[in-house]
């Protein structure tokens, strides 16, 4: 069963890479919970629940950053949990700053659906980039 759980999570990342966020919603359990640890200065940190919370998260993120690359480079099968290690490279829309952050996600999969998404991230690099002043002569796209 756990190999199927890894495939569910791989599908999550494939759809994310393709920009098909609405299709990801079909992978979420009705009691889905997304926990993104981070300081209060990180606008999308916190706990979000259900499809509504999933949409809320991306509504906030889309206004502030553009993910240039999100690479899930290792999937660790832990039964009903799938641990994913990766790196993201991102552009901050307001100031043109870029950051690279290492991350670890722990997905809980139940009956073929993602019920919990624990998002552990290098938030220091994100907060620093979000609050960096725009460089003179450079324009954010």
Count CA atoms closer than 13 A to 98's CA, side-chain side.
9
Q: pLDDT tens digit string along 31-79? A: 999 999 999 899 999 999 999 999 999 999 999 999 999 999 999 999 9
d(CA 114, CA 47): 15
CB–CB of 37/47 below 8 Å?
no
d(CA 87, CA 54): 21
Q: pLDDT tens digit string along 89-101? A: 999 999 999 999 9
């Amino acid at each position: 069963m756990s190999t199927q759980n890894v495939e569910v999570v791989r599908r999550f990342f494939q759809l994310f890479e393709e920009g098909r966020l609405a299709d990801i919603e079909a992978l979420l359990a009705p009691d889905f919970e997304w926990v993104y640890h981070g300081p209060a200065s990180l606008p999308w940190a916190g706990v979000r629940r259900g499809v509504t919370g999933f949409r809320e998260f991306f509504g906030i993120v889309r206004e502030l950053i553009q993910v240039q690359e999100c690479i899930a480079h290792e999937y660790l099968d832990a039964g009903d949990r799938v641990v994913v290690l990766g790196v993201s490279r991102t552009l901050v829309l307001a100031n043109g700053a870029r950051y690279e952050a290492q991350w670890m996600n722990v997905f809980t999969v139940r009956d073929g659906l993602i019920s919990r998404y624990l998002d552990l991230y290098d938030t220091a690099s994100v907060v620093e980039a979000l609050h960096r002043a725009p460089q003179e002569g450079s324009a954010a796209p």
